[in-house]
Amino acid sequence: MLTDGTYRLGPSTARLLIKTGRAGLGRRAGHDLTIEATRWSGEAVVVVGDPDRSSVSATVEAGSLEGGEGTGRLKALTDADRAEIKRTLGDKALLHTAEHPTITFRSTRVTGTPQSFEITGDLTIKGRTHPATVHGKGNGDGLLRGWATVTQSTWGIKPYTAFLGALRLADEVQMEFEVARLEPADAPP
């Protein structure tokens, strides 16, 4: 059950995923990818009776994004595929992690209940900040899930293309989180 408090977030208590889709004439040749952030941290301040006093922040190491799963093709992702995805996400084309090592989210407003909530905030990717809205649900046992749809080009990210543009990732990606348990911020790590 979600109670008032300040909670620490990170890979030990939650998963942070990005899910891509395919577009273009060659979309059957590629994979829909699930990419996971492996190094990130955050904090949630929860005031159940007054959600407007609640807040959420998170910082993701952009270089920690790794392609874990690929669906939509008969052939599974290989280790070489995963290594290429990591290279592509980093400096080669998309996130330019050397210049922009972190992705951040800072809430500006929280509304709803622990069972159904919305978090509006500022998402910064590649040094560009734009508003983003996260939709979430809680199950009463402390499990929280949420999602936001992000249009890559808004943040200056050119969706990945191959085969002269016949295969490309869709501009919209789904960012998802799943919090398995909340850890009080004052508890030892």
Contact call for residues 107 and 120 (beta carbons, < 8 A)? yes
pLDDT at 23: 59
pLDDT at 145: 96
Question: Residue 89, Cα to own-chain centre: how many angstroms?
Answer: 14
For 62, residues 6+ apart whose C-beta sits below 8 A from its C-beta are 89, 90, 95, 97, 100, 101, 102, 103
pLDDT at 85: 54
CA dist., res. 65 & res. 88, Å (int): 10
The encoded tokens of residue 70 equal 């690929």
pLDDT at 165: 45
CA dist., res. 74 & res. 48, Å (int): 46
CATH code, residues 5-184: 2.40.128.110
CA dist., res. 20 & res. 179, Å (int): 21
Give the mean pLDDT per block of 10 residues along the chain (189 residues): 91 91 53 82 95 97 75 53 53 70 97 95 96 93 91 84 56 92 83
pLDDT at 179: 94
Contact call for residues 61 and 102 (beta carbons, < 8 A)? yes
